[in-house]
């Protein structure tokens, strides 16, 4: 009979203990490891982004030369019989129009009431110690250019200002002198380009002249004689183009294609001023 190798009881218990310790060591190695402490986050400062704002391009206001050119184009379109289509780019534009006057020196003072014809004047005062600058707007609400456009039912008041010498685009006085060989008084050409300051029906009456003149008196300093400037004076009209019913900025009219049309632009008037030839403001109304 073969011999059984039977270990004593105490040796078997010892083996169980050794085995348990080994298993425990293995489990300790395979178990979750302790998480290492995280390093604190380092804040990196953001680099500021410089954004340059894109500003809209400023559209310069329309000048005397711009309006004279626009009126010439409108007159050509009118006489040719063309009917413009689309919007008028002049509507909504700002205007700063300077009209030279008193270029040949002040005239003798008027003996009667002011003439409401929309033309600026420079006249001598008493003893030639002062110069009166004046302008009385014309009443155009019943004119053919306004009533013919149906604007008389939209605008309560229309005050007119003429642009003298529309063939001259400059804001300065003419550089050509009167021919001394031509005798008599030279009759100026009729006015054909103007600005109509409109006031809608029911709007505020503030700013309306109602036949009253814009006036400013230039006086001599002390006992010195008053010497008027060689470059005359300037009438300044500021505002924006509003246009006629139908959307056109300028309206023209003539009784015959052989005559130059009369063209006027409808505007909202914000400021009227008298200036010296050097640009100094003498008097203003807003």
Helix/strand/coil (H, E, C) string of 266-279?
EEEEEEEEEEECCC
Residue 148 lies in a domain: yes
Q: What is the pLDDT of residue 149?
A: 75
What phi and psi, each to the nearest 5 degrees, are found at residue 153?
Answer: -85, -10
Residue 41 lies in a domain: no
* Cα gap 272→234, rounded to integer Å: 11
Residue 276 lies in a domain: yes
Q: What is the pLDDT of residue 25?
A: 47
Look at the chain and report how many structural domains it folds into: 1
Do 278 and 103 contact (CB within 8 A), yes or no? no
User: Which token pair is 102?
Assistant: 């008193």
Kindly give the parts of the chain with pLDDT less than 50. Answer: 1-19, 21-28, 30, 32-33, 50-52, 55
Q: What is the pLDDT of residue 126?
A: 81
User: Which token pair is 42?
Assistant: 């380092």
Residue 197 lies in a domain: yes
Residue 246 lies in a domain: yes
Pairing relation of β-strands 250-253 and 233-241?
unpaired
As beta bridge partners, residue 238 has 96, 271
Residue 52 lies in a domain: no
Do 238 and 271 contact (CB within 8 A), yes or no? yes
Residue 123 lies in a domain: yes
* Cα gap 265→70, rounded to integer Å: 9
Residue 238 lies in a domain: yes
Structural domain boundaries, residue 226: 64-104+116-173+190-260+268-285
Burial of 10 (0-12, 13-18, 19+ CB in 10 A): exposed
């Amino acid at each position: 009979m073969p011999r059984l190798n039977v270990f004593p009881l105490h040796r078997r218990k010892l083996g169980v203990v050794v085995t348990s310790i080994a298993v425990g060591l293995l489990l300790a190695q395979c178990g979750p490891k302790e998480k290492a402490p995280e390093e604190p986050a380092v804040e990196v400062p953001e680099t500021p982004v410089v954004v340059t704002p894109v500003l809209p391009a400023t559209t310069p206001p329309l000048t005397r030369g711009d309006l004279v050119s626009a009126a010439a184009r409108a007159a050509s379109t009118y006489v040719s019989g063309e009917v413009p289509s689309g919007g008028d780019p002049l509507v909504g534009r700002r205007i700063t129009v300077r009209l030279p006057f008193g270029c040949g020196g002040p005239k003798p003072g008027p003996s009667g009431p002011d003439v409401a014809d929309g033309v600026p004047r420079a006249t001598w005062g008493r003893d030639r110690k002062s110069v009166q600058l004046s302008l009385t707007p014309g009443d155009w609400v019943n004119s053919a250019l306004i009533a013919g456009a149906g604007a008389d039912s939209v605008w309560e008041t229309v005050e007119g200002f003429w642009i003298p010498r529309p063939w001259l685009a400059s804001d300065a006085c003419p550089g050509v002198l009167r021919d001394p060989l031509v005798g008599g008084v030279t009759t100026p050409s009729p006015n054909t380009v103007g600005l109509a300051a409109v006031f809608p029906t029911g709007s505020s009456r503030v700013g309306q002249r109602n036949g009253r003149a814009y006036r400013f008196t230039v006086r001599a300093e002390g006992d010195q004689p008053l010497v008027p400037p060689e470059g005359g004076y300037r009438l300044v009209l500021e505002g924006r183009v509003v246009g006629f019913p139908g959307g056109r900025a300028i309206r023209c009219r003539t009784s015959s294609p052989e005559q130059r049309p009369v063209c006027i632009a409808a505007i909202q008037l914000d400021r009227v001023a008298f200036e010296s030839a050097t640009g100094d403001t003498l008097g203003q109304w807003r």
